[in-house]
Structure 1
């Protein structure tokens, strides 16, 4: 790697760490940079997953007083998340790069839309949970689908899980967020274990971005007190939109 690529990867990690700490959505920044660094698309996705993996776990630990008891329901949810993450990762690795690149613009676009409409989605789920609660089987199926998506690509997984958990659990939002981070950690660890065992992680690029993400997360912990989350959200949405257009032109036209 030349100096320019190293600086780009580290900077993307820092920005991604800050973005995750304040508003979420780091993958919309970090995954395209892995592609810019010259990694094949599938390897870029796998390496990016490893680079940003500590974020959810650190967030859960930061609010550990809200971690739910390790009962049957939590164990089942974690098991479903891990299984889904493994299935998603295996599906990703089963695709050759030439096929994976086809849905990349759509995946980035979907994640961007999900991120943009997250506040509306959260309000909808808040109203929905007042009306009804889904069965445990239905909840496990939906969680499994979300986990498979998370293992396959991952951008927007936190938003999807927050929506699912807000419907299933009428408790406070902090508990929902902590549980979301725990389940996302399960998905992430399952997926990156598969990626590492299969040798699909490019470690030099991953290590540089990982250190940047850790530094960005630390910085974000301070910036969250002064930076308006709305401004960060707008910047991420603009970046995601630009990346969607760029990769649509590259892979579709």
Structure 2
């Protein structure tokens, strides 16, 4: 009962911060390792469970996401393809293959979050001069989303921070709208990876863990949307930076 309660609570917290920021995997994955689950089983089961939190987060941020339906339709295939690639890589590469690059990716994401407002103003000026989106951004953004989809399908820790950072630099829309898009793309990645795991790695799934994390993250996603949508952009950016910095410290010094 203690183990089940802790895993459920980790799912609630992960679902909450995934919707607001991202990096919920940094809570649930170590929790599962603490209770003795094998790394691949923990990663696969955690990924499937967190899909539920993504769905409740999408529902909470549905207004922001629907405002950018055409952009989502353009980026969703890149996320799906990346997720499939990453999920298959998880099953063939060593479990520690991405560990060395995770801190670098998180740091890069935080830098992009900080630089986002200035880069958005620059992009907006360029957009106004050209009368359309800069040519580079038409392929840079989908390419970046695909690469982050690979990372998300493979491990996914702080994937949300990286998505917010990338879109904050290349798009001119508000941070809350970016967060709504991030929730959709992140859930697509988790969903595609989950289906892939169920097809090719059924024996690696612990369905009790999936149920506990799924139920917890479903509640957490609802809470995260209610909290996140009420945060002013400056406060939301600060929350992203604080949680991202804590995640970076944890990975570098405690993993």
Query: Which TM-score band applies after superposition, normalised by the shorter structure?
Result: 0.7 to 0.9
TM-score by length of 2: 0.77
SS at 2:76 equivalent = helix
List alignment gaps of at least 5 residues for structure 1.
248-253
Moved more, 193-202 or 59-68: 59-68
Alignment-derived partner of residue 100 in structure 1: 95
1:78 aligns with 2:73: no
SS at 2:173 equivalent = coil
Q: Show CA shifts across 1:84-114 (max 9, x none).
A: 110111111112xxx213543652x346535
Q: 1:11·1:212 contact (CA, 8 Å) conserved in 2?
A: yes
SS at 1:100 equivalent = coil
Q: 1:46·1:195 contact (CA, 8 Å) conserved in 2?
A: yes
SS at 1:208 equivalent = helix
Alignment-derived partner of residue 216 in structure 1: 220
Summarize the Cα distance change of 1:17–1:180 in structure 2 as closer, same or farther, 3 Å threshold: closer
1:242 aligns with 2:236: no
After superposition, where does 1:114-193 map in structure 2 within 5 Å?
A: 117=111, 119-130=113-124, 132=126, 133=134, 134-193=136-195
SS at 2:37 equivalent = coil
Q: 1:151·1:187 contact (CA, 8 Å) conserved in 2?
A: yes
After superposition, where does 1:12-51 map in structure 2 within 5 Å?
A: 12-51=10-49
Alignment-derived partner of residue 198 in structure 2: 196
Q: 2:19·2:54 contact (CA, 8 Å) conserved in 1?
A: no
Q: 2:56·2:221 contact (CA, 8 Å) conserved in 1?
A: no
Q: Distance in 1 between matches of 2:104 and 2:224?
A: 25
Q: Distance in 2 between matches of 1:182 and 1:235?
A: 20
What's the Cα RMSD here?
Answer: 3.1
TM-score by length of 1: 0.78
Following superposition, the deviation at residue 124 of structure 1 comes to 4.7
Alignment-derived partner of residue 57 in structure 1: 55
SS at 1:57 equivalent = helix
Moved more, 115-124 or 186-195: 115-124
Summarize the Cα distance change of 1:157–1:121 in structure 2 as closer, same or farther, 3 Å threshold: farther
Alignment-derived partner of residue 2 in structure 2: 4
Q: Distance in 1 between matches of 2:247 and 2:73?
A: 37
Q: 2:117·2:169 contact (CA, 8 Å) conserved in 1?
A: no
SS at 1:129 equivalent = helix
Summarize the Cα distance change of 1:55–1:110 in structure 2 as closer, same or farther, 3 Å threshold: farther
Q: Show CA shifts across 1:126-164 (max 9, x none).
A: 244235433423332222112111111112222222233
Q: Distance in 2 between matches of 1:191 and 1:42?
A: 13
Aligned length: 239
Summarize the Cα distance change of 1:94–1:128 in structure 2 as closer, same or farther, 3 Å threshold: farther
Q: 2:117·2:168 contact (CA, 8 Å) conserved in 1?
A: no
Summarize the Cα distance change of 1:246–1:106 in structure 2 as closer, same or farther, 3 Å threshold: farther
Summarize the Cα distance change of 1:105–1:6 in structure 2 as closer, same or farther, 3 Å threshold: farther
